[in-house]
């Protein structure tokens, strides 16, 4: 258990973990030469659905107990420590330095120790409350570590996670070291201190003691709205109301204990801290134009201490490589509030990497158990409506319920059909994770990987889902690298033509004539698994055909202009149009994975065009056969409609598996 119990300086050696030395460029080159060495399929030792600690995080009582001990007993100069509860990082993990708020407490990241400690080599800065080190000296302290690490591993990025005052510290270090590869993660940075009302408020209460002023600041810092919101959300998500109420009251009572701590803080602490943060904001703002690092702003719209939302807008205009992630219902102490998953945000924004350039294959980290739960929450309605039934085919041709017929080890190439809008994708990927613990790496059009500059915290959107599940743009080099790494690759040869099909074209294949994917599979002795999925016609209904749109005034011209702008696939003479549709009374999605096709005995497809075409047509015919089989068999499923499924689950529980047809 990580603790900062007194005296801290006597525990420094115990808190440090020995740092493993890795040479990022040599490691990367070696991986590429060996097609990622097959070890890449284990993601540098991290398994899919790993425990990131967010579901078992300690409550605020732990933080305030540690804070009380520090206030009373802590002494000595500013220093670094590695949280014990962060555990050991994965191989070749980049360094992350946590820079705390103006309180200087290095334990302010305790809710994120395990999650960040799995994918980063995490070190936390701690500045005792009795310390009076000037801001410039704190900058030098961080800078010394950054420069030393850069000299040791010049091709690896260094992450600075700055909270409030720590955000100013991170910006200052970045401005003085533009040649070093830094990524800044700034949580409600205090660069807006001069624009905040906190100075006027504290001057108004200057007649009172420092303890009273700090108590007022703490009250503004505490976000009761978020506590109530999280308690209500936990009840909606299935927790017992008493459990949700207990967590709410525990956190509020923990906050009230803060008043006892204030009596132990030295007299001049508030004045010194206000002077320190004012200097930090001025120093950072003056040098913003020198910051060349990637910047991720994590911002609270409900911040009552600083105008963080307006400051995020200002900083994004001034910093050339800046992304913003907004939280609507959170206060200033974002890192101490539930529902904030910093590690997930970093992964969703494509900022996690091991070398100078982000690589979607080699830098990928699989989803954690918490991230799967978050996706489940976001897609609960879809899962409830479609209740996906999965089938697979054993080597002897027997069709069974579940995914037992799909190989356990890669490389595997899953090849199948798209339904309308690719609506089958999320359920497919989630079931592979639940049932087999396997991440399916989807191949998608480059338009589905936009460079988002701003995002909001209302759950993961489809683009976040693609990033968390390891999706990659449609480029043959990515398929090559994924198969070489022993991954499970999901390929839809029909692409957008199937996902945006016309009315009356449900469950039809629109595959190109090229047989390149079978050659790639054979090159790595990959197993091809054809699959089919049906059920869109039981959920969605198209309002019009493409001919209806073309015949409308200016319809043809608008569709042609839109298609030319997107340029999705040159080999298909088909305008792109996102069809109007409406939801029907939900039916059910049915998936079947066909008999695995090993390519080890098909090596002639690499040189023989006819052999490659024969294998390609065999895979295509298998997908068509599976679709026909599912369309026929689903008529035997008495739980195909929503109401029978609801009655079945009402009697046996919402998480029970609903029966389907017998294969």
DSSP string, 204-248: HTTTS-HHHHHHHHHHHH--HHHHHHHHHHHHHTT--HHHHHHHH
Region 51-74: what's the mean pLDDT? 74
Q: Would you say residue 628 lies in a domain?
A: yes
In a domain, 24, yes or no: no
**Is 132 found in the same domain as 227?**
no
Contact between 410 and 488 under an 8 Å Cβ cutoff? The reply is yes
Q: For tokens 């207990």, what's the residue?
A: 246
Average pLDDT of the chain is: 81
Q: What is the mean pLDDT of residues 195-208?
A: 60
Q: Give which of 162, 196, 461, 388 is closest to 308, Cα–Cα.
A: 196
Burial (CB count within 10 angstroms: exposed 0-12, middle 13-18, buried 19+), residue 508:
middle
User: In 162-209, where does DSSP find H-type helix?
Assistant: 165-176, 198-204
Alpha carbons 274 and 272: distance in angstroms, whole number: 5
Please say which residue of 332, 359, 381 terminates a domain. Answer: 332
Judge whether residue 40 has pLDDT over 50: no
Confidence band for 200, pLDDT divided at 50, 70 and 90: low
440 CB-side CA count, 13 A: 25
Which pLDDT band holds residue 661 (cuts at 50, 70, 90)?
very high
Tell which residue, 286, 378, 298, has the closest CA to residue 333: 298
Greater confidence (516 vs 206) lies with 516
Q: Is the same domain home to 279 and 317?
A: yes
Looking at residue 273, its pLDDT comes to: 83
Distances (CA, A) of 175 to 180, 205, 292, 438: 10, 36, 7, 42
One domain, residues 563 and 585: no
On whether residue 556 sits in a domain, the answer given is: yes
DSSP annotation of 198 reads H
C-beta separation of 369 from 51 below 8 A: yes
Per-residue pLDDT tens over the stretch 353-406: 999 999 999 999 999 999 888 888 778 888 888 999 999 999 999 999 999 999
Over range 533-552, report the average pLDDT: 78
Is residue 144 assigned to a domain? yes
End position of a domain, from candidates 527, 562, 577: 577
CA-nearest of 427, 429, 424, 461 to 442 is 429
Whole-number pLDDT of residue 65:
72
State percent of the chain over pLDDT 70.
76
Query: What pLDDT does residue 576 have?
Result: 57
Last residue of a domain, which of 244, 265, 286? 265
pLDDT tens digits, one per residue of 564-600: 545 544 544 555 556 677 778 788 999 999 999 999 8
CATH code, domain carrying 159:
3.40.50.1820
Q: Based on the domain organization, do 525 and 560 belong to the same domain?
A: no
Residues 406 and 520 in one domain: yes
pLDDT score at 237: 52
Would you say residue 522 lies in a domain? yes
CA distances from 537 to 91, 216, 503, 516, 615 (A): 46, 59, 10, 31, 30
Do 605 and 615 meet the contact criterion of CB atoms below 8 Å apart? yes
Same domain, 408 and 523: yes
Assess whether pLDDT exceeds 50 at residue 7.
no
60-73 and 241-256 helices cross at what angle (nearest 10)? 20
Label residue 301 left, alpha or beta by phi (over 0 means left) and psi (-120 to 50 means alpha): alpha
Residues 466 and 76: beta-carbon distance below 8 Å: no
pLDDT digits (tens, 9 = 90+) for 252-306: 445 445 555 555 666 677 778 888 999 999 999 999 999 999 999 999 998 888 8
Q: Does residue 7 have a cis bond before it (omega within 30 degrees)?
A: yes
pLDDT in tens, 80-98: 999 988 889 998 999 999 9
Residue 122 near residue 116 (C-beta atoms within 8 A): yes
Total domains in the chain come to: 4
* Side-chain half-sphere CA neighbours of 75 within 13 A: 4
d(CA 442, CA 414): 9
634 shares its domain with 587: yes
Residue 121 has pLDDT above 70, yes or no: yes
pLDDT tens-digit series, residues 603-651: 788 889 999 999 999 999 999 999 999 999 999 999 999 999 999 999 9
Q: What was the pLDDT predicted at 41?
A: 42
The DSSP call for residue 513 is S
Alpha-carbon 70 to chain mean position: 34
pLDDT at 68: 67
Please, which pLDDT band fits residue 556 given cuts at 50, 70 and 90? low
Q: Supply the DSSP string of 369-402, one letter for each residue.
A: HHHHHHHHHHTHHHHHHH--EEEEE-TTS-EEES
Examine the domain organization and report whether 621 and 482 are in the same domain.
Answer: yes
User: Which pLDDT belongs to residue 547?
Assistant: 66
Give the residue, 553 or 229, on which the prediction is more confident: 553
Do 602 and 567 share a domain, yes or no?
no
What is the CB-side half-sphere exposure of residue 42 using CA atoms within 13 A?
Answer: 7
Amino acid 449: pLDDT: 87
What pLDDT, on a 0 to 100 scale, did the predictor assign at position 350? 92
Would residue 662 count as lying in a domain? Answer: no
- Give pLDDT, residue 514: 85
The Cα 156–Cα 117 span in angstroms is: 17
**Quick check: 525 and 541 in contact, CB under 8 A?**
no
Residues 633 and 502 in one domain: yes
For position 464, which CATH number holds? 3.40.1130
In terms of domains, do 417 and 559 share one? no
Domain residue limits at 122: 60-194+271-332
On whether both 480 and 523 belong to a single domain, the answer is yes
Question: Taking residues 535-554, what's their average pLDDT?
Answer: 75
452-491 pLDDT, tens digit per residue, is 898 887 667 788 888 888 999 999 899 999 999 999 999 9
DSSP assignment of 589-641: -EEEE---EE-TT-GGGGT-HHHHHHHHHHHHHHHHHHHHHHHHHGGG-TT-S
């Amino acid at each position: 258990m990580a603790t900062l119990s007194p005296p801290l300086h006597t525990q420094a050696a115990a808190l440090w973990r020995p740092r493993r030395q890795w040479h990022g460029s040599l490691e990367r080159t070696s991986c590429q030469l060996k097609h990622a060495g097959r070890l890449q399929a284990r993601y540098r030792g991290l398994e899919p659905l790993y425990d990131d600690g967010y579901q078992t995080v300690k409550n605020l009582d732990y933080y305030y107990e540690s804070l009380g001990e520090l206030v009373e007993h802590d002494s000595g100069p500013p220093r670094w420590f590695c949280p014990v509860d962060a555990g050991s990082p994965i191989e070749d993990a980049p360094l992350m330095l946590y820079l705390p708020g103006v309180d200087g407490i290095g334990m302010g990241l305790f809710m994120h120790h395990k999650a960040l400690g799995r994918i980063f080599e995490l070190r936390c800065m701690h500045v005792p409350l009795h310390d009076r080190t000037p801001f410039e000296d704190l900058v030098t302290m961080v800078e010394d570590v950054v420069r030393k690490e850069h000299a040791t591993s010049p091709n690896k990025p260094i992450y600075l996670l700055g909270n409030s005052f720590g955000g100013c510290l991170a910006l200052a270090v970045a401005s003085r070291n533009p040649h070093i590869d830094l990524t800044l993660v700034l949580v409600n940075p205090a660069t807006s201190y001069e624009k905040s009302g906190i100075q006027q408020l504290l001057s108004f209460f200057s007649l009172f003691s420092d303890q009273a002023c700090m108590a007022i600041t703490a009250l503004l810092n505490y976000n009761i709205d978020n506590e109530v919101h999280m308690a209500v959300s936990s009840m909606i998500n299935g927790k017992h109301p008493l459990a949700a109420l207990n967590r709410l009251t525990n956190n509020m009572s923990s906050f009230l204990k803060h008043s006892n701590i204030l009596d132990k803080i030295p007299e001049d602490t508030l004045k010194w801290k206000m002077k320190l943060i004012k200097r930090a904001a001025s120093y950072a703002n003056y040098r913003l134009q020198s910051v060349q690092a990637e910047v991720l702003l994590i911002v609270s719209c409900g911040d009552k201490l600083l105008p963080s939302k307006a400051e995020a807008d200002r900083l994004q205009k001034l910093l050339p490589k800046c992304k913003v992630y907004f939280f609507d219902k959170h206060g200033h102490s974002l890192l101490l509030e539930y529902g904030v998953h910093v590690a997930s945000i970093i992964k969703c924004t494509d900022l996690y990497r091991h070398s100078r350039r982000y690589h979607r294959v080699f830098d990928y980290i699989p989803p954690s158990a918490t991230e799967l739960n978050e996706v489940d929450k976001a897609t609960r309605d879809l899962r409830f409506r479609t209740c996906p039934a999965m089938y697979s085919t054993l080597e002897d041709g027997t069709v069974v319920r579940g995914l037992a017929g799909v190989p356990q080890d890669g490389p595997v190439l899953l090849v199948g059909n798209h339904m309308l809008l690719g609506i089958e994708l999320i359920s497919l990927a989630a079931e592979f994770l639940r049932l087999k613990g396997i991440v399916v790496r989807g191949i998608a059009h480059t338009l589905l990987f936009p460079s988002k500059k701003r995002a909001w915290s209302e759950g993961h959107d489809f683009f976040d889902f693609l990033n968390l599940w390891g999706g990659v743009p449609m480029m043959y080099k990515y398929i090559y690298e994924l198969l070489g790494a022993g991954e499970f690759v999901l390929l839809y040869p029909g692409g957008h033509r199937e996902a945006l099909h016309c009315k009356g074209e449900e469950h039809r294949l629109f595959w190109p004539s090229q047989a390149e994917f079978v050659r790639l599979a054979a090159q790595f002795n990959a197993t091809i698994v054809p699959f089919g999925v049906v059920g869109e016609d039981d959920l969605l209904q198209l309002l019009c055909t493409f001919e209806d749109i073309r015949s409308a005034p200016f319809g043809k011209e608008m569709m042609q202009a839109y298609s030319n702008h997107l340029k999705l696939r040159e080999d298909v003479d088909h305008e792109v149009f996102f069809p109007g549709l409406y939801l029907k009374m939900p039916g059910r999605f049915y998936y079947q994975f066909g008999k695995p096709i090993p390519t080890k005995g098909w090596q002639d497809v690499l040189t023989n065009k006819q052999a490659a075409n024969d294998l390609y047509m065999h895979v295509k015919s298998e997908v068509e056969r599976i679709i026909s089989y599912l369309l026929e068999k689903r008529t035997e499923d008495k739980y195909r409609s929503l109401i029978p499924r609801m009655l079945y689950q009402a009697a046996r529980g919402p998480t029970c598996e609903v029966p389907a047809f017998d294969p």
